[in-house]
Structure 1
Amino acid sequence: MEDPLDKRNRRRSILAARADMSEDLRRISATSTRELLLDQPWVQMAGLVACYWSISTEPDTHGLVFALWKHGATVMLPVLCEDNDLDWAVYDGPDTLTPGPFGLMEPVDVRRGVDAIRTAALVIVPALAVGRTNGVRLGRGGGSYDRALARVGPNVPTVALLYEDELVDTIPTEAHDQAVRYVARPSGVHAVGATAAQA
């Protein structure tokens, strides 16, 4: 089990590196990652996608969400519950978002419930880092996405979006940690953890 202090230090270090990135590099990274992800057949075939609306220095998802929606996918975005769990609502264009807590933008559509993610054919989540060998993601520490990922079926592609240097050898696991199956970053889309081992 990882020392919680070490986890906090990792988060601090990655967030500092993200803050130091230029706007141009962030924009170029987002475009490359989006195009590589949209080229994947399992992304193109996904009729219902659970994604997120990026904030601050996170890898930008605004163009990705819009592109998925324009290509005919139904895109659900999270709505933060009081207990930090994630409810879901459908995105219907950039004018259908409203400010939520912590600077998040949330869809105004009817809430589908925390179990709506079970119906998604593709799940795209944020992360600060992911372990190549075990697929475990380092999040911000609230546990929201671990709870959501625990509801996703074993054969559904789950993808964490990262900047280039944030795919690391391994992330030490805790009991609640949920692995992802893929990482998308500017240089490519990579299977990780058990999915990579099966390839």
Structure 2
Amino acid sequence: MVRNPPNPSEKTHLRGELLAARRALSPETLRTATRALSRSALELPELSGAHTVAAYVSVGTEPGTRDLLDALRTAGKRVLLPVLLPDNDLDWAVYEGPAGLAEAAHPGKMRLLEPTGVRLGPDAVTGADAVLLPGLAVDRRGMRLGRGGGSYDRVLARLERAGAHPALVVLLYDEEVVARVPEEPHDHPVQAVATPSGVIRFSS
């Protein structure tokens, strides 16, 4: 069955609504959600049993990952963090703690916190047991709506080419688990979403 591609304006409209809702969150709500999200994510066997986790540093009003990154590192996990390349692809480096992060400016994009350690190359992600994906929403089928930059589409395509099958997990606020998101042929379902209220798993 051939799926009809979504109207681009449908994704744009939904992204705008979700980003506006995030901007409206209070600092206290963000702090509370960050702590609860870390606890939820650590309950996932895909993370607790992983040796290497590819993650990311949250910025702005994204669901907070800082507590989770430190908890994973304390638990002895090898945590890889992305470095944005000029073509929007991602390089990777090992997370060595908060002191090993530096603010990076990318033309036309938000300022990011990136690892300062040795770059391992874009293919380093293929050795991860679990990959934490940023997103704006996930639907009840496990389909993810990203920001539209394409960086993680490249990551997912690289994993597929390498025959790598890490667990794919999205970190979201509770209200960002929705009935349905617009889907395109290249989109990949995820295995689970962690929210401040707990974990939702999806069938393969």
| TM-score for both structures, normalised by structure 2 | 0.89
Q: How does 1:122-137 map to 2 (within 5 A)?
A: 122-133=130-141, 135-137=142-144
Q: Which of 78, 91, 94 is the aligned partner of 2:95? A: 91
Residue by residue, what CA displacement relative to the aligned partner does 1:73-108 show, whole Å, maximum 9, x if unpaired?
110000111111111111101111112223111111
Farther-moved stretch of structure 1 (34-43 vs 121-130)? 34-43
Q: Which of 143, 150, 169 is the aligned partner of 2:150? A: 143
Q: 1:189 Cα deviation (Å)?
A: 1.0
- Structure 1 residues 154, 169: closer, same or farther in 2, change over 3 A? farther
Aligned residue number for residue 61 of structure 1: 65
Q: Does 1:15 align with 2:25?
A: no
Aligned residue number for residue 117 of structure 1: 125
Q: 1:126 Cα deviation (Å)?
A: 0.7
Aligned residue number for residue 41 of structure 2: 37
The letter of the residue matching 1:50 is A
Q: How does 1:154-165 map to 2 (within 5 A)?
A: 155-165=165-175
SS for the counterpart of 2:158 is coil
Q: 1:136 Cα deviation (Å)?
A: 1.8
Aligned residue number for residue 183 of structure 2: 173
Q: Does 1:185 align with 2:195?
A: yes
Q: 1:155 Cα deviation (Å)?
A: 4.1
Query: CA–CA distance in 1 between the matches of 2:53 and 2:164?
Result: 16
The letter of the residue matching 2:22 is R
Q: 1:154 Cα deviation (Å)?
A: 6.1
Q: Which of 116, 121, 124 is the aligned partner of 1:108? A: 116
SS for the counterpart of 1:88 is strand
Query: CA–CA distance in 2 between the matches of 1:86 and 1:16?
Result: 26
| TM-score for both structures, normalised by structure 1 | 0.92
Q: Which of 4, 9, 15 is the aligned partner of 1:5? A: 9
Check the 8 A contact 2:145/2:182 in 1, yes or no. Answer: no
Query: CA–CA distance in 1 between the matches of 2:201 and 2:193?
Result: 7
Farther-moved stretch of structure 1 (76-85 vs 93-102)? 93-102
**Aligned residues: CA RMSD:** 1.4
SS for the counterpart of 1:149 is helix
Query: CA–CA distance in 2 between the matches of 1:71 and 1:125?
Result: 20
Aligned residue-pair number: 193
Query: CA–CA distance in 2 between the matches of 1:28 and 1:151?
Result: 35
Query: CA–CA distance in 1 between the matches of 2:24 and 2:111?
Result: 20
| Unmatched 5+ stretches in structure 1 | none
Q: 1:150 Cα deviation (Å)?
A: 2.5
SS for the counterpart of 1:43 is helix
Query: CA–CA distance in 1 between the matches of 2:25 and 2:48?
Result: 30
| Unmatched 5+ stretches in structure 2 | none
